[in-house]
């Protein structure tokens, strides 16, 4: 279950040639997500790739802005522009935070490595609201499937359990771990439909309650370190501006010739 890709009504939906150029030439961080990162891959599982690109600062100075996200150019590939990625991470968007903690990093340049070094700055108790709120909304959808069809979408149920467990452990320890570890076989049994819905549903409820109880004593700060993230973004934009050609039209990729 893709628990959102960080998109909302403010995203520009950038894709195609312009976006592909940004991803190819300006990616600062790339990783594998989904079942492979979670330790839940089975035969035939997709390889979901996620990334962050830094649009050249010169492009931000024009009326037509670069896209905030790009679908592709590869299959199962999705990328965010650095500022949008940071904004969503500060809100504790589950998908974004998990990208920063993927065990399967495929690329990180100097900016990407600084982003990874800063990942603790994004973590806060806001995760309780964002993770659990999303999970409970998805749980209601699973309950509707049970009422209509007699069974939930089992793969979605598995990933919802994984997400709730991850949230609970984050609140307890202050560290986000995306790999499921010892829960792998139990979760895969849910995916195969071998676990009665009543048992899976009770497991979800228990994890949500445990996350609630973990909130008060959590080692996480109440808010993320927005200043540290803002300083990082400023430095990245400034470095990009200083490296830009004198003629801002000479940035390549034809991104504004539309």
Contact (CB, 8 A) for 173 and 167: no
Instruction: Examine the pLDDT at 15 and tell me if it is beyond 90.
Output: no
Cα separation of 82 and 236, whole Å?
A: 9
The confidence score (pLDDT) of residue 18 equals 81
Instruction: Examine the pLDDT at 152 and tell me if it is beyond 60.
Output: yes
For residue 73, cis peptide bond before it (omega within 30 degrees of 0): yes
Quick: pLDDT tens for 42-57: 988 899 999 999 999 9
Quick: pLDDT tens for 62-98: 888 999 999 999 999 999 999 999 999 999 999 999 9
CB atoms within 10 A of CB 62: 13
The confidence score (pLDDT) of residue 32 equals 97
Quick: pLDDT tens for 97-112: 999 999 999 999 999 9
Closest by CA position to 111, among listed 53, 31, 24:
53
The confidence score (pLDDT) of residue 245 equals 64
Which has the minimum average pLDDT: 45-49, 123-127, 225-229?
Answer: 45-49
Closest by CA position to 104, among listed 185, 189, 40, 55:
40
The confidence score (pLDDT) of residue 256 equals 40
The confidence score (pLDDT) of residue 248 equals 45
Burial class (CB in 10 A: 0-12, 13-18, 19+), 247: exposed
Quick: pLDDT tens for 169-216: 999 999 999 999 999 999 999 999 999 999 999 999 999 999 999 999
Contacts of 199 (CB under 8 A, 6+ apart): none
Percentage of residues in the chain having pLDDT higher than 90: 81
Residue 32 β-bridge partners: 49
Contacts of 250 (CB under 8 A, 6+ apart): none
The confidence score (pLDDT) of residue 44 equals 87
Mean residue pLDDT of the chain comes to 89
Q: Which residue has the higher pLDDT, 170 or 5?
A: 170
Cα separation of 153 and 130, whole Å?
A: 22
Sign of torsion, CA 20 108 166 196?
positive
Give the containing element (helix H, strand E) for 222: none
What confidence tier does 143 reach under pLDDT thresholds 50, 70, 90? very high
The confidence score (pLDDT) of residue 179 equals 96
């Amino acid at each position: 279950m893709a628990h959102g890709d960080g998109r909302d009504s403010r995203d520009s939906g950038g894709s195609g040639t312009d976006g592909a150029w940004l991803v190819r030439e300006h990616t600062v961080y790339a990783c594998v997500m989904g079942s492979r990162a979670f330790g839940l891959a089975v035969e035939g599982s997709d390889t979901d790739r996620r990334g962050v690109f830094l649009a050249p600062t010169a492009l931000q100075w024009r009326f037509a802005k670069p896209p905030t996200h790009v679908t592709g150019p590869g299959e199962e590939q999705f990328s965010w522009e650095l500022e949008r990625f940071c904004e969503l991470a500060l809100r504790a968007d589950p998908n974004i935070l998990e990208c920063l903690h993927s065990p399967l990093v495929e690329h990180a340049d100097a900016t990407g490595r600084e982003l990874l070094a800063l990942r603790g700055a994004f973590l806060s108790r806001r995760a309780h609201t964002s993770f659990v709120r999303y999970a409970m909304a998805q749980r209601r959808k699973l309950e509707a499937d049970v009422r209509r069809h007699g069974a939930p979408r089992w793969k979605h149920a598995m990933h919802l359990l994984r997400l709730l467990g991850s949230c609970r452990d984050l609140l307890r320890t202050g560290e986000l771990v995306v790999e499921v570890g010892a829960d792998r076989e139990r979760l895969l049994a849910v995916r195969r439909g071998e676990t009665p819905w009543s048992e899976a549903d009770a497991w979800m409820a228990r994890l949500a309650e445990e996350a609630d109880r973990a909130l008060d004593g959590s080692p996480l700060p109440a808010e993320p370190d927005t200043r540290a993230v803002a300083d990082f973004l400023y430095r990245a934009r400034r470095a990009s501006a200083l490296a830009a050609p004198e003629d801002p039209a000479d940035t390549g990729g034809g991104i504004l010739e539309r």
